[in-house]
Amino acid sequence: MTDITETPSAVAARTTLLTVTGLHKSYLRGPEEVHALRGASFELHRGQVVALVGPSGSGKTTLLNVLAGWEHPDSGELRWFDGRPPLEERPWSELAILPQDLGLIEELSVRENIELPLRLGKRLPQDRPAADALIEALGLERLADRSPSEASLGEQQRAALARALVVSPELVLADEPTGHQDEAWAHGVFGALRTAAMNGTTCLVATHNQEASKYVDAIFTIRDGLVHASDTGEA
């Protein structure tokens, strides 16, 4: 495993990327109405790694889905730095998503999955070194030319992370990216996110990892449908 620096990004000094104000979202669970978000408000800044924490069912995935545009909020406002609402379709170069189900394409090799955003953006072969660096950093060299089905869940998860990071997007939304990692590779995953942040990418990471505070700039805790922000002072 290639060690990746955990030095905090200089650009975290605080250009706002996304402002969220008064977000409400409810849904039905059987006959019960669940109020997942009850006026959540916060800001994300460029080059910041933020852990999104809370118990299962607290609304972490719902919040990520709303930010990604996969679900529409009942009310509230989301504004990007450029003034456009984020719910319109955005290219991978601006918004990349690492869902829990990973979404790797079995018919493609691990490398081809990682390079897919580059191919769609017509950035091959010139940007292939970015894919090579992530493949090495995330320990995927021996699997690069194999199908994702030949990889462990942890390796598949790291491949999906590499795919999200390969184009240096403005914002990465990652849902439990260390869920299938051992301690060493959890360190590697957070290291990759920190490296991305040093290059200006903002990372919002839903996680249950107890060590997350060592690697992030801030922690957002979802409680009672609200987002409570705190700096860690650790990363």
Residue 34: CATH number of its domain: 3.40.50.300
Whether residue 206 lies inside any domain: the answer is: yes
Flag the least confident range among 29-38, 88-97, 149-158, 172-181: 88-97
pLDDT for 162: 97
Whether residue 4 lies inside any domain: the answer is: no
pLDDT for 28: 84
Q: What is the mean pLDDT of the chain?
A: 88
Whether residue 145 lies inside any domain: the answer is: yes
Q: State whether the Cα torsion 122-125-129-132 is positive or negative.
A: positive
Whether the predicted model's global pTM rises above the 0.95 cut: no
Number of domains the chain contains: 1
Q: Which amino acid is at 68?
A: A
Whether residue 149 lies inside any domain: the answer is: yes
Whether residue 100 lies inside any domain: the answer is: yes
Whether residue 3 lies inside any domain: the answer is: no
pLDDT for 201: 95
- The yes-or-no verdict on residue 224 having pLDDT over 50 is yes
Range of the domain at 47: 10-230
End-to-end CA distance of the chain: 20
Provide mean pLDDT across the span 72-77: 92
User: In the sheet where 218-223 sits, what is the strand order?
Assistant: 95-98, 171-175, 202-206, 49-53, 218-223, 226-231
What is the CA 57 to chain-centroid distance, rounded?
A: 19
Whether residue 235 lies inside any domain: the answer is: no
